[in-house]
């Protein structure tokens, strides 16, 4: 609260020229004390200033002149100035006016990813990406971030760089780049650059792509993954299913394998072969073996197995037997065991991923954790770019890993000896990526719904320290709205968590119920540019984690066979709660929107009720029968979620399809779909739109070329802006 003595002193100068006046500011007054208490009109020459306005704002930077109370002759509240020191200004400064967040402000964010921690833990190298609207692309550069807090420095400036990996000697940085690849050409390259700067050196270029690159422990070799096979450009002859994959295109004739680049001989050797697709690989600490995760069954691509291969001879040993999903792999410090994230499908695709260990000599995997939460980050966010790097890290006698807890993602550590897990980094944050060594943990995180920064954790009294300010200015020059968390008791007694984003506009406002995808993902403390745009245009945004969401118990996440039932009730009861508890929500101007599973639910909702005055369905499902045969995950995901194959239970398949009830739709519906979406094929939108128009319903369809299921979070910047403008046009038309 602003202290009374300050406001009283300002009020007493109301009729006088303030050029020679100053306030004595109490020493204990900090930036957090600057809050609006009441409005006082102050006349300074011919300028009218509202003191309440000057003190307004949630965050204040004591180093920024614009953050001080800017009444002429009144000292700014700045810790770097002496108590009572006069600021010599001769004119009044108007209170700053934050700009509203526009769709084009996608370019304002720094996307932080892929931290690599030096061997001595003194610095980190991260990738920083930004959207460039006029080029319609994303630029990425590498930054060195010292852990002592002296501030980051830019290491590369080509705008095409990502995925840094610090060499074991701490003096060289390996990274992938497209700096020598044409805009329409395929593939990427490996580069090496000295830590102290200089020219980056090209190591390898592959049109088949390079990913998962990792230094050998001796720094002489580099492991990487790359495709094998010819990518046909014209006529395609296909002999297996899973022939296309979202964001990858046609993959039916490609297999991904492990390769090793020898830096001394400059030769590349393929390590794995055969009809498998390798997803992850890791060196043993002695550099003699490589552990890798591979998909071995085309009909069950969600099943992976764990293998060991001798790096010299190529001799391969299979450790697991076709019964688990395996999402990562890392070695124990003594190379005797492997730890991985995985699950054995106790609840199908509603199952949580857990921490498992297996002996390097083989045997049965053992689960290490006892948490009834998912050990993965599935929070919805549209300002991520590059790898998240949140896989477990085994350091000494401890294993570090992330845990989804409600709308947050926290960092935990597990003691291997007693298998006790302890919270390391909690709070209202989403830990996006992390690295750990003895005595040092660094991580990227989004806090309280704000864009990401990079942090260092030190045990004991060291606490958490912010190391970057890439996105700090956003809150000073744009009106970033803070989400308000709530919980309510559903009609069956379950607790449902949600958030509402309140616009600056006063009075009753139209409100959008937004539904996440998955269904096993979640909303929470990650940032969504999309929601900020809606709030800036005067819409409240209501978003919740209904049944089916991640971040809670497995039972909560399991809605297999029950789409459109308890999840539907949770969503509508969230609307009831918002209307009852937030007076600004206009019950007569409600909209519903969502993407993927959220698109399915939007389609479902408008066939069940006319409560909403407008709806937008994005990358949706309208017909489970066609989804089964066209989606890259259709044959196994559709059966798991609906409970049947179409021809074995036609009634269930159609009963759960919104298309069957298209005649019921009364809500004006906008359908948005990408033409290269192989997760939910654009035929889902086309057939629903066709049926709507056939029956005389109000509907429009926006089809976006050269984009896939990830348009909203990774599409071309201009297409992302166009998508948001389509939403706004529809809402403005129907909710005015």
User: What pLDDT digit, counting tens, does each position of 535-579 carry?
Assistant: 999 999 999 999 999 999 999 999 999 999 999 999 999 999 999
Tell me: pLDDT of 48 over 90: no
Judge whether 259 and 226 are in contact, CB under 8 Å: yes
Q: Which of 129, 213, 410, 709 is catalytic?
A: 709
Asked if residue 18 has pLDDT above 80, the reply is no
Q: Please tell me the predicted confidence (pLDDT) of residue 406.
A: 98
Please say if 596 is a catalytic residue.
yes
User: In the chain, what is the straight-line distance between the N-terminal and C-terminal CA atoms, in Å?
Assistant: 37
Q: Which residues contact 582 (CB under 8 A, 6 or more apart)?
A: 500, 502, 540
Least confident of 41-50, 249-258, 516-525, 718-727: 41-50
Torsion angle of C-alpha atoms 301, 304, 310, 311, degrees rounded to 10 = 60
Q: What is the pLDDT of residue 440?
A: 92
- Over residues 154-177, the mean pLDDT reads 97
Query: Which whole number is the average pLDDT over 200-210?
Result: 97
CA-CA distance, 586 to 611, in Å (whole number)? 12
> Of the given ranges (243-257, 477-491, 721-735), which has the lowest mean pLDDT?
243-257
Instruction: Say whether 326 sits in a helix, a strand or coil.
Output: strand
Catalytic-role residue among 596, 622, 674, 712: 596
pLDDT greater than 80 at residue 203:
yes
Q: Grade residue 21 by pLDDT with cuts at 50, 70 and 90.
A: very low
Separation CA 556–CA 522 (nearest Å)? 12
CB 635 within 8 A of CB 627: no
Tell me the CA distances in angstroms from 131 to 87, 266, 478, 705, 717, one per residue in order: 39, 35, 17, 19, 6
Question: Picking from 33-42, 236-245, 291-300, 386-395, which range would have the lowest pLDDT averaged per residue?
Answer: 33-42
Q: How far apart are CA 546 and CA 640, in angstroms?
A: 19
pLDDT of residue 185: 86
**Distances in Å between the alpha carbon of 88 and those of 19, 72, 74, 85, 734?**
8, 8, 9, 9, 52
CATH 3.40.50.1820 placement within the chain? 482-735
CA angle 45, 48, 49 (to 5 degrees): 115
Residue 52 reports pLDDT greater than 70: no
For residue 497, what are the contacts with CB-CB under 8 A and spacing of at least 6? 406, 407, 485, 486, 487, 544, 545, 551
Phi and psi (nearest 5°) for 629? Answer: -95, -10
Per cent of the chain over pLDDT 70 is 86
| Cα angle 386-391-393, degrees, rounded to a multiple of 5 | 130
pLDDT tens, 269-296?
999 999 999 999 999 999 999 999 999 9
pLDDT (tens digit, 9 = 90+) per residue, 296-322?
998 899 999 999 999 999 999 999 998
For residue 233, what pLDDT is reported?
A: 74
Q: Considering only the top CATH level, what class is 482-735? A: alpha beta
Residue 680 tokens read as: 């939910």
Q: Are strands 289-295 and 255-262 parallel, antiparallel or unpaired?
A: unpaired
pLDDT of residue 390: 87
Q: Confidence band (pLDDT; 50, 70, 90) for 97? A: low
Which residues, listed in sequence order, are joined to residue 256 by a DSSP beta bridge? 227
The pLDDT of residue 82 is 31
Looking at residue 183, its pLDDT comes to 79
- Taking only the tens place, the pLDDT of each residue in 112-146 is 999 999 999 999 999 999 999 999 999 999 999 99
Q: State mean pLDDT over 590-616.
A: 99
- 229-262 pLDDT, tens per residue? 977 778 888 888 888 889 888 888 899 999 999 9
Q: Quick one: pLDDT at residue 230?
A: 79
Q: Alpha carbon 325 to chain centroid distance?
A: 22
Q: What is the mean pLDDT of residues 714-736?
A: 98
The pLDDT of residue 159: 96
Q: Which residue has the tokens 């549209």?
A: 382
What value does the mean pLDDT take over residues 642-654? 94
pLDDT digits (tens, 9 = 90+) for 489-535: 999 999 999 999 999 999 999 999 999 999 999 999 999 999 999 99
The confidence score (pLDDT) of residue 75 equals 29
Residue 461 scores a pLDDT above 70: no
- Provide the mean pLDDT of the chain: 88
- Kindly report the three-state secondary structure assignment for every residue of 493-517: CCEEEEEEECCCCCCCEEEEEEECC
Question: Given this model, what pLDDT does residue 477 score?
Answer: 86
CA-based max dimension of the chain: 89
674 is catalytic: no
Q: Which has the minimum average pLDDT: 90-104, 218-232, 368-382? A: 90-104
For tokens 């994303």, what's the residue? Answer: 138
Q: What is the CA radius of gyration of the chain?
A: 28
In sequence order, the β-bridge partners of residue 595 are 618
Q: Are 619 and 631 in contact (CB under 8 A)?
A: no
pLDDT for residue 382 is more than 80: yes
- Rounded CA-CA distance 478/504 in Å is 12
pLDDT of residue 412: 98
Q: Residue 602 pairs with which residues in a beta bridge? A: none
CA distance 405 to 341: 17
């Amino acid at each position: 609260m602003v202290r009374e003595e300050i406001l009283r002193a300002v009020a007493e100068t109301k009729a006088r020229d303030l050029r020679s006046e100053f306030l004595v500011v109490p020493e204990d007054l900090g930036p957090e004390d600057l809050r609006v208490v009441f409005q006082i009109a102050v006349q300074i020459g011919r300028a009218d200033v509202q003191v309440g306005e000057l003190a307004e704002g949630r965050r204040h930077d004591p180093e920024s002149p614009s953050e001080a109370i800017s009444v002429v002759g009144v000292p700014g509240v700045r810790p770097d100035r002496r108590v009572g020191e006069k600021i010599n200004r001769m004119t009044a400064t108007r209170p700053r006016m934050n700009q509203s967040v526009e769709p084009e402000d996608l370019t304002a964010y720094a996307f932080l990813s892929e931290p690599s921690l030096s061997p001595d833990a003194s610095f980190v190298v991260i990738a920083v990406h930004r959207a460039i609207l006029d080029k319609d692309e994303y630029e990425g550069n590498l930054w060195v971030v010292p852990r002592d807090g002296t501030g980051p420095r830019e290491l590369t400036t080509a705008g095409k760089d990502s995925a840094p990996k610090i060499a074991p000697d701490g003096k060289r940085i390996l990274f992938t780049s497209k700096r020598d690849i044409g805009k329409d050409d395929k593939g990427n390259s490996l580069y090496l650059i000295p830590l102290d700067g200089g020219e980056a050196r090209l190591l390898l270029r592959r049109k088949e792509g390079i990913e998962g690159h990792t230094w050998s422990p001796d720094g002489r070799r580099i492991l990487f993954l790359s495709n094998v096979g010819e990518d046909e450009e014209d006529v395609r002859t296909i002999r297996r299913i899973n022939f296309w994959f979202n964001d990858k295109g046609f993959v039916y004739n490609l297999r991904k394998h492990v390769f090793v680049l020898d830096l001394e001989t400059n030769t590349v050797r393929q390590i794995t072969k055969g009809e498998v697709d390798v997803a992850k690989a890791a060196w043993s600490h002695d550099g003699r073996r490589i552990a890798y995760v591979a998909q071995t069954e085309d009909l069950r691509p969600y099943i992976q197995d764990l293998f060991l291969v001798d790096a010299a001879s190529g001799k391969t040993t299979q450790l697991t037997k076709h019964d688990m999903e395996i999402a990562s792999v890392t070695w124990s410090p003594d190379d005797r065991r492997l730890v991985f994230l995985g699950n054995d499908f106790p609840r199908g695709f509603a199952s949580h991923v857990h921490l498992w260990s297996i002996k390097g000599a083989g045997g049965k995997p053992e689960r290490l954790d006892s948490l009834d939460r998912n050990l993965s980050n599935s929070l919805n966010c549209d300002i991520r770019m590059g790898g998240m790097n949140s896989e477990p890290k085994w350091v000494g006698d401890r294993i570090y890993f992330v845990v989804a807890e409600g709308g947050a993602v926290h960092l935990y550590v597990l003691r291997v000896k007693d298998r006790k897990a302890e919270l390391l980094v909690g709070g209202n944050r989403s830990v996006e990526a992390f690295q750990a060594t003895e005595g040092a943990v660094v991580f990227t995180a989004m806090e309280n719904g704000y864009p990401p920064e990079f942090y260092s954790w030190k045990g004991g009294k060291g606490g958490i320290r912010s190391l970057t300010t890439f996105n700090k200015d956003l809150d000073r020059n744009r009106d970033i709205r803070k989400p308000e968390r709530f919980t309510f008791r559903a009609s069956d007694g379950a607790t449902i968590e949600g958030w509402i984003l309140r616009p600056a506009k006063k009075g009753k406002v139209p409100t959008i119920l937004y539904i996440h995808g998955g269904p096993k993902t979640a909303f929470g403390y990650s940032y969504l540019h999309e929601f900020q745009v809606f709030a800036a245009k005067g819409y409240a945004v209501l978003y919740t984690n209904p049944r089916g969401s991640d971040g809670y118990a497995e039972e909560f996440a399991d809605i297999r066979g029950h789409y459109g039932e308890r999840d539907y009730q949770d969503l509508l009861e969230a609307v009831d709660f918002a209307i009852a508890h937030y007076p600004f929500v206009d019950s007569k101007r409600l909209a519903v929107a969502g993407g993927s599973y959220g698109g399915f639910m939007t389609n479902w909702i408008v066939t069940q009720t006319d409560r909403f005055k407008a709806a937008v369905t994005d990358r949706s499902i309208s017909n489970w029968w066609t989804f089964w045969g066209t989606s890259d995950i259709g044959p196994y995901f559709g059966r798991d979620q609906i409970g049947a194959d179409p021809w074995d239970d036609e009634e269930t398949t159609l009963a759960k399809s919104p298309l069957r009830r298209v005649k019921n739709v009364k809500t004006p519906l906008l359908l948005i779909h990408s033409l290269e979406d192989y997760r939910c094929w654009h035929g889902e939108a086309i057939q629903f739109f066709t049926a709507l128009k056939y029956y005389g319903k109000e509907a429009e369809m926006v089809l976006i070329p050269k984009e896939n299921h990830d348009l909203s979070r990774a599409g071309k910047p201009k297409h992302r802006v166009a998508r948001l403008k389509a939403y706004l046009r529809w809402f403005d038309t129907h909710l005015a």
